[in-house]
Amino acid sequence: MSARHAETAAAAAFPGMELAEVRARAELQTRRDRKYLVRRDVFLAFLDRLADQGDWSILQIGGMRRFRYSSTYFDTPDLLTFRQHRQGRRRRFKVRTRSYLDTGACTFEVKLEGARDATVKQRREHPFALRDELTDDARAFLAEVLRAGYGVDPPGELIRTAVTAYWRRTLVQRSGTARITCDTGLVCRSEAAAVVADPGWVVVECKSAGPPTAADAVLADLGERPRRISKYCLAAAVLHPGLRANPWRRSLRDWFGTEDAESPPLPPARRRPETSRPRAAPGANEAPGVPVAPAVPAAPSEAGGRAA
């Protein structure tokens, strides 16, 4: 049985929960996140143990339990937000659009670092057709969020620096407010390169308003510990060789390598130069090379899907 079919079978052990109930129980726009990068065999064991607890449901929309996501990230030409995260700045933020490729929905999101390592995410609806662009409304919303949260104006210039695409399953605790997202098949793209993460790994993110959850305890019992993981920062590191990315060195070494045949479709490159060729992912011991241009293509053209 393939890894995908094994995970589908494991996910079938959970009762389904509709999106409206997921939002009511575990919206968690202000939360604490604990992220794990685990092998797929460990992930299957994790799902089995959670199912045995009888306290978790899985997001289900129209019979689907696994959803396609795409995020377009915006940063300054000198990658200010990447550098803020690399340096562990207390006042740091990320700017992105998130597209839900199975329903054609899209949001514009600003993530701030809150008090006591909490993540504060603020978002608003965004036109799906403009998912690779910062609209005037999005820029105004960004300015409002940064001024209210940090008392600062947004950077004068923001450009597209990376697009990520992946599959996601979402689990929700029925007796509390915890939520778990499980991401596979990550692909990162810029104008000059497309890099596919090793399909043997899964990012598990445990989200709660307070302390670690029962899911964290299961992962600890399986020998896993939280890691410092940021899809944007990892994407920036592999797409823009030459960037220092020390906080994510272990995850870069583990996660990026072989191609994944089940990776979700990526954006077609608009106006892509004919001479451009994708750059392969660096090997585990390969040092970064020369920076590439930060512009990226538009997000996928097919209608997509939204999950929590």
pLDDT digits (tens, 9 = 90+) for 89-119: 888 999 999 999 999 999 999 999 865 667 8
Both tokens of 31, joined, read 């939360």
pLDDT digits (tens, 9 = 90+) for 7-55: 999 999 999 999 999 988 877 666 688 999 999 999 999 999 999 999 9
Q: How many other CB atoms are there within 10 angstroms of residue 84's CB atom?
A: 18
Residues 263, 164: contact at Cβ < 8 Å? no
CATH of domain 3-255: 2.40.320.10
**Which residue in 44, 37, 3, 45 sits closest to 253, CA to CA?**
37
State how far the Cα of 150 lies from the Cα of 164, in Å rounded to an integer. Answer: 27
Q: What is the pLDDT of residue 113?
A: 84
State how far the Cα of 143 lies from the Cα of 4, in Å rounded to an integer. Answer: 41
208 or 75, higher pLDDT: 75
- Listed in sequence order, the DSSP H helices in 179-288 are 214-221, 231-239, 249-255
pTM of the model: 0.82
pLDDT digits (tens, 9 = 90+) for 123-165: 999 999 999 999 999 999 999 999 999 999 999 999 999 999 9
- Stated length of the chain: 308
With bands split at pLDDT 50, 70 and 90, how would you rate the model's confidence at 297? very low
Residues 290, 279: contact at Cβ < 8 Å? no
Say which DSSP state 43 is in: H
State how far the Cα of 150 lies from the Cα of 220, in Å rounded to an integer. Answer: 35
pLDDT digits (tens, 9 = 90+) for 244-288: 999 999 999 999 963 333 444 444 433 333 333 333 333 333 222
State how far the Cα of 45 lies from the Cα of 191, in Å rounded to an integer. Answer: 38
Give the CA count within 13 Å in the CB-facing half-sphere of 156. Answer: 0
Residues 162, 73: contact at Cβ < 8 Å? yes
Domain boundaries, the chain: 3-255
State how far the Cα of 257 lies from the Cα of 264, in Å rounded to an integer. Answer: 17
State how far the Cα of 301 lies from the Cα of 133, in Å rounded to an integer. Answer: 14
End-to-end CA distance of the chain: 29
Query: What single string gives the DSSP state of each residue in 178-192?
Result: -EEEEEEEEEEE-SS
